[in-house]
């Protein structure tokens, strides 16, 4: 157990900063782009390892796989309505019911898997990070989110968060410095989809929260998860 803790400390405090420092030194002209991508990829590692270490039983693994697949299908099923997707809602509910690390995995894998259909690109790690974090915090805040109004508020907030993170990434990627002018332009262009994200998160949480909770707790009771 102890050596594992050392490995973790090594990873967090030595390896990740070292990667970032060396990267900044090598790619001086593109340091912002490097830092954002490096942070996004590196922050995916701890939850994966954490999930690995948990002695979760087979049932929980399979349920997580089911929920991830449902999130991806949700993204594919509503492909004709850009921005109006149940993915975030399902990720939030997964985080709430299965815990923070499972929420992260559900978010990250929904992004990775659905991009096999929609196209992978340099944005994939960022999407994995954003959706993963939304699921992760849903797991941490599970007790607060049990209140319906706060859940809906969190849904709306995560719509904004997702949009802002992706816009900041695009600006840093293209310019390698943060320019407010370009960010405001990006923000205005993506304003409709941001509003779409918020509305769809709230709508899907409203519609899905009850059947989701009922079914999951039924399964939990029936199979002693």
Partner 1 sequence: MEQGIWGRFGAFHPVVLFVYFASLLVLLIFQFHPVVALLGLSGGLPFLFIIKSGSKIKKMLLFYLLFFFVLTVTNLFFTHEGQTPLFYINDKPVTLESGIYGAVMAALLIAVLIWCQCMQVILTSDKILYLMGKSIPRTALVFTMSFRFLPLFLRQMKKIARAQKAMGLYAGDSVYDKAKGGVRILSSLIGWSLENAMDTACSMKARGYGIRGRNDFSLFRFRKSDALMLALILVLTGTVFLGIVRRDITFSCYPAVSTVSFTLPACTAYAAFGILTFLPFLTECRERIKWKHQKENIHDERVGDATGIFFLPGCKKTGA
- Which positions lie near partner 1, rule CB under 8 A? 23, 25-27, 29-30, 33-34, 37, 48-49, 51-52, 56-59, 61-66, 68-70, 72-74, 77, 86, 105, 109, 112-113, 116, 119-122, 174-176, 179, 181-182, 185, 203, 207-208, 211-212, 215-216, 219, 222-223
Residue 80: Cβ-neighbour burial (10 angstroms; 0-12, 13-18, 19+):
exposed
CB of 31 to partner 1, least distance (A): 9
Residue number, 16 or 33, with CB nearest to partner 1: 33
From residue 86, give the alpha-carbon distance in Å to each of 78, 94, 199.
Answer: 8, 12, 10
Shorter beta-carbon distance to partner 1: residue 22 or 144: 22
Min separation Cβ 53 and partner 1, Å: 9
Q: Which is nearer to partner 1, 57 or 82 (CB)?
A: 57
Neighbours of 211 (CB within 10 A): 9
The C-alpha atoms of residue 225 and residue 219 are separated, in whole angstroms, by 8
Nearest distance from residue 107's CB to partner 1, in Å? 12
Q: How far is the CB of 193 from partner 1 (least distance, A)?
A: 18
Q: Which residue, 168 or 208, is less far from partner 1 as judged by CB? A: 208
Distance CA(116)–CA(95), nearest Å, equals 23
Q: Which is nearer to partner 1, 144 or 210 (CB)?
A: 210
131 CB burial (10 A radius; 0-12, 13-18, 19+) = buried
Is residue 84 within 8 A of residue 119, CB to CB? The reply is no
**Rounded-to-integer distance, Cα 171 and Cα 151, Å:** 30
């Amino acid at each position: 157990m102890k050596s594992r803790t050392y490995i973790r400390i090594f990873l967090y405090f030595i390896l990740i900063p070292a990667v970032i420092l060396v990267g900044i030194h090598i790619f001086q002209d593109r340091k912002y782009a490097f830092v954002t991508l490096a942070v996004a990829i590196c922050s995916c590692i701890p939850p994966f390892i954490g999930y690995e270490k948990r002695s979760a039983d087979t049932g929980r693994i399979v349920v997580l796989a089911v929920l991830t697949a449902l999130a991806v299908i949700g993204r594919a099923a509503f492909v004709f309505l850009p921005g109006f997707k149940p993915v975030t809602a399902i990720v939030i509910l997964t985080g709430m019911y299965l815990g923070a690390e499972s929420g992260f995995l559900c978010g990250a894998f929904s992004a990775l898997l659905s991009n096999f259909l929609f196209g992978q690109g340099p944005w994939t790690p960022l999407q994995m990070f954003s959706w993963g974090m939304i699921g992760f915090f849903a797991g941490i805040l599970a007790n607060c989110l049990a209140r319906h109004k706060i859940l809906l508020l969190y849904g709306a907030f995560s719509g904004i968060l997702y949009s802002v993170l992706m816009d900041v990434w695009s600006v840093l990627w293209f310019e390698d410095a943060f320019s407010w002018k370009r960010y405001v332009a990006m923000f205005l262009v993506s304003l409709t989809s941001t509003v779409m994200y918020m509305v769809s998160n709230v709508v899907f949480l409203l519609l899905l929260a009850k059947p989701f909770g009922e079914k999951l707790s039924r399964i939990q009771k029936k199979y002693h998860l």
